[in-house]
Structure 1
Amino acid sequence: MDYEKPNSISSTPAGKGVEKEIENVKKLRGKKKNNFKLIIETTVVAVLLLLISWAILKLSFNDFNGYIANKKNDEHTSGTYFGSVQKDNEVNGVSNKFERGADVYFSTSVKEPFNRRDVTLTLLNKYGEIESTQMKIKVPVKPESNYVYGVLDQLNDGKSSLEDGDYIFRVTNGNRVLSEGEFSVVENK
């Protein structure tokens, strides 16, 4: 008895139902591939948006003039210093006297880590024995960091807004003064 296979599944009525099922499965697989592709594309977009948001926050923080780092220091390098230039997280052109309109950069390094998530930066006008707060701002820090630096600008507009006079700059940790420094701004000559 010779048995011949039919050339196609569709040669029988049951075969036509199977063929339709196979087509439906192929369509579903295509949809699943499209869904998987959509999930991957959405994930990539979400990651890119997250990175962009992080970059914007970082830039905003940098414009905020609060910078943190870890720095090895000793008796000679710990403290608060002021300068006219900042390069590679260091203050150069160290001075305590600046002309009006010049940027005043600060660098504060303490011996021990901050052991907090924020420190307070305070800029005070000094009128003899009287102190008047010009700026007081909390900046986030890593608890293990011991160094904070930036530029003093009351208006945060990229131009120095410090008027003529004597100033005190303090870095505090709660009620405890970690470091303090004084400088003066004088009229351009």
Structure 2
Amino acid sequence: MTKVLIASNNPGKIKEFKDLLQGFGADVFSLKDLGITTDVPETGHTFHENAALKAEALAKETGMITLADDSGLCVDALNGEPGVFSARYSGPEKDSERNIDLLLHKLKGVPEEKRTAHFVCVLALSRPKHQTRFAEGRCDGIITATRRGVGGFGYDPLFLIPERQETFAEMGEAEKNQISHRARALRVLKENWTSWTGEA
């Protein structure tokens, strides 16, 4: 079984990865599982750059196949904000509630039809002495005027899927994991899993 390190300390994200990677024939570890405290600064200007920085640094440190993602919310009315700064939108503390408050403040008075947005997820798979591979997923939605739902994490209470009339935080994990940006990126990863990891 392929051993894979998830280069993240985000509990919600790690749980999604472990759920979504179940069918890959992979033995999945988080940084916490292995007692790794390395924190790779996200100094890139794009999702691809940040994902690669994390995956390559941890693969080099551990010698393991490492999967990192950089994902974020891009709001059209705010010219793509918060984008790569999604987790740190309101400051370096990565406070989800403050991030949501800031986003709602910036969108105050913007009508629903102009509150379009999309989540992006870029996965970087790094294997020591091999080229880093990328898989990308996108999910389109609308930013609600108030929080809705108690599930998920991050901006999930604001991200409405129009055809379902539910936010990510209102739908169950199983439903979210069928349509989310991360699920779509992982489908691309799954299609290339054997060749990218070097294992049948």
Between Structure 1 and Structure 2, the one with more helix by share is 2
TM-score by length of 2: 0.26
Tell which structure's C-alpha radius of gyration is larger.
1
TM-score by length of 1: 0.27
For CA contacts below 8 A with separation 6 or more, give which structure has more relative contact order: 1
